Amino acid sequence: MGNDWTERTKLVHAGARRSQYGEMSEAIFLTQGFVYPDAETAEARFIEAGEDEFIYARYGNPTVRMFEERMAALEGAEDAFATASGMAAVNAALFSQLRAGDHVVSAKALFGSCLFIVENLLPRFGVDVTFVEGTDLEAWQAAVRSNTKVFFLETMSNPTLEVIDIAGVARISKAAGACLVVDNVFATPIFQRSFALGADVVIYSATKHIDGQGRCLGGIVIGSRDFIRNTLEGYLKHTGGALSPFNAWVMLKGLETLDLRCRAQAASAAMLAEALVGHEKLNRVIYPGLPQHPQAELVRRQMETGGTMIAVDLKGGKTAAFRFLNALKIFLISNNLGDAKSLVTHPATTTHQRLSQTQRDSLGITDGLVRISVGLEGPQDLISDILSALDVGN
């Protein structure tokens, strides 16, 4: 339905299913099981379930299906499977297609839990991993082996907002016969069309911009019908990573306003970044929408805007960073992101605390680095709050 619709229309209508009551808003089918009129129907459904036929909510549910179809339509992909969290999506997208003896090439700048899966869990099951500098296409090429099965990356990266050339990595991945899995959370489905750029599988933590109002965990894996049904579904169905129907409904409602929220948040982020460039208390302002961003040219090609996230590196390290965080009045200290509420986090002591000093150094996570997720408040209030907090301790 609606393949020729623009994204904003898909976000509101794609995948809608209506019951016999003709409800306007999507219904919450808060049921884990389904009943059959007779034994023959049950038997037939276990052989093959049709489009509108469900067996058990771990396999699928009408409300969850609406969310899956809306996300697949938005991404321009054939199918999707929703999961209980973003990490359940990452886990399933990787483990469902890998086995002992396979090789994975991964960008080294990863969300903490993604890094744990790729660095600690995969090797435990006999999968070799090579980490590369994601922005260096030659490094991806050089890492390819005859048993390379998966390329994995996040762009923009967390927390230093490096941007990886998805189309460039996709060309190398295709030539190597590998499956390119892209975690597109930071860039959002609004600003970066990873599937169209050549990714084979796209993952979201719906917990972030898709909910966008701090309520539920959720995730989704998007890809071809063949991948979703013949590789992923069997793994997820039997390992229990299914999304709750209630949470799927919250995400559906989030999608209706996703475009408006992301655009408003990105516009404020751009204003804030511009107001901070050259500030005497900062070593660096990192925002992909700034002309001085190291991948500014790629950002123009690959992303519609600079996104909703900023990172700043304060002179004076941890002491200055903590003083700044504690002086903020509107920005809340939280490791979430993509929310209506503006949030700040100090990666070195929270999200990236587990990493060694050497790893943090190689990722540019300095003691003065603060990650900023720009929300929906008035942009002038946000700018004043940041500038006042930077002034504290003069």
Residue 339, interface with ligand PLP (CB under 6 A)?
A: no
Secondary structure letter of residue 4 according to DSSP: T
Alpha-carbon distances, residue 164 vs 216, 253, 362 (angstroms): 29, 30, 17
Q: Rg of the chain's alpha carbons, rounded to an integer? A: 21
Beta strands in 84-217 (DSSP E): 103-107, 128-132, 148-154, 179-183, 201-205
63-71, 86-94, 138-146, 346-354 -> range binding ligand PLP (CB under 6 A): 86-94
**Of 170 and 181, CB closest to ligand PLP:** 181
Contact code string over 46-85 relative to ligand PLP, x by CB under 6 A: ---------------------------------------x
**Of 144 and 206, CB closest to ligand PLP:** 206
Using CB under 6 A, pick the residue from 14, 74, 87, 370 that binds ligand PLP.
Answer: 87
Using CB under 6 A, pick the residue from 81, 152, 186, 195 that binds ligand PLP.
Answer: 186
Measure the CA–CA gap between 180 and 144, rounded to whole angstroms.
Answer: 13
Measure the CA–CA gap between 285 and 142, rounded to whole angstroms.
Answer: 32
**Of 183 and 200, CB closest to ligand PLP:** 183
* Bond before 294 cis per omega within 30 degrees: no
Residue 155, interface with ligand PLP (CB under 6 A)?
A: no
Nearest-approach distance from CB 99 to ligand PLP, in angstroms: 23
Residue 207, interface with ligand PLP (CB under 6 A)?
A: yes
CA nearest to 192, candidates 275, 309, 90, 335: 309
Residue 205, interface with ligand PLP (CB under 6 A)?
A: yes
- Half-sphere exposure of residue 124, counting CA atoms within 13 Å on the CB side? 7
Sole residue written with tokens 């890094």:
115
Using CB under 6 A, pick the residue from 97, 135, 158, 308 that binds ligand PLP.
Answer: 158
**Of 253 and 323, CB closest to ligand PLP:** 253
Measure the CA–CA gap between 316 and 367, rounded to whole angstroms.
Answer: 8
Using CB under 6 A, pick the residue from 14, 114, 181, 255 that binds ligand PLP.
Answer: 114
Contact code string over 217-246 relative to ligand PLP, x by CB under 6 A: x-x---------------------------
Using CB under 6 A, pick the residue from 183, 233, 259, 367 that binds ligand PLP.
Answer: 183
CA nearest to 303, candidates 188, 220, 207: 188
Measure the CA–CA gap between 114 and 394, rounded to whole angstroms.
Answer: 39
Measure the CA–CA gap between 337 and 185, rounded to whole angstroms.
Answer: 10
Secondary structure letter of residue 56 according to DSSP: B
* Residue 66 near residue 221, CB atoms below 8 Å: no
Q: Go through 315-344 and write b for each residue having 16 or more CB atoms within 10 A of its CB, e for each that does not.
A: eeeeebbbebbebbeebbeeeebbbbbbbb
Residue 373, interface with ligand PLP (CB under 6 A)?
A: no
For the chain, what's the residue count?
Answer: 394
Residue 192, interface with ligand PLP (CB under 6 A)?
A: no
Nearest-approach distance from CB 208 to ligand PLP, in angstroms: 6
Measure the CA–CA gap between 141 and 40, rounded to whole angstroms.
Answer: 54
**Of 63 and 85, CB closest to ligand PLP:** 85
44-52, 179-187, 287-295, 324-332 -> range binding ligand PLP (CB under 6 A): 179-187
Nearest-approach distance from CB 210 to ligand PLP, in angstroms: 10
**Of 90 and 122, CB closest to ligand PLP:** 90
Residue 111, interface with ligand PLP (CB under 6 A)?
A: yes
Tokens of 65: 């299906």
**Of 212 and 219, CB closest to ligand PLP:** 219
Instruction: Count CB-CB contacts under 10 A for residue 92.
Output: 22
Residue 330, interface with ligand PLP (CB under 6 A)?
A: no
Nearest-approach distance from CB 184 to ligand PLP, in angstroms: 8
Q: Which residue has the CB atom at the shortest distance from ligand PLP?
A: 86
Footprint of ligand PLP (CB under 6 A): 85-87, 90, 111, 113-114, 154, 158, 183, 185-186, 205, 207-208, 217, 219
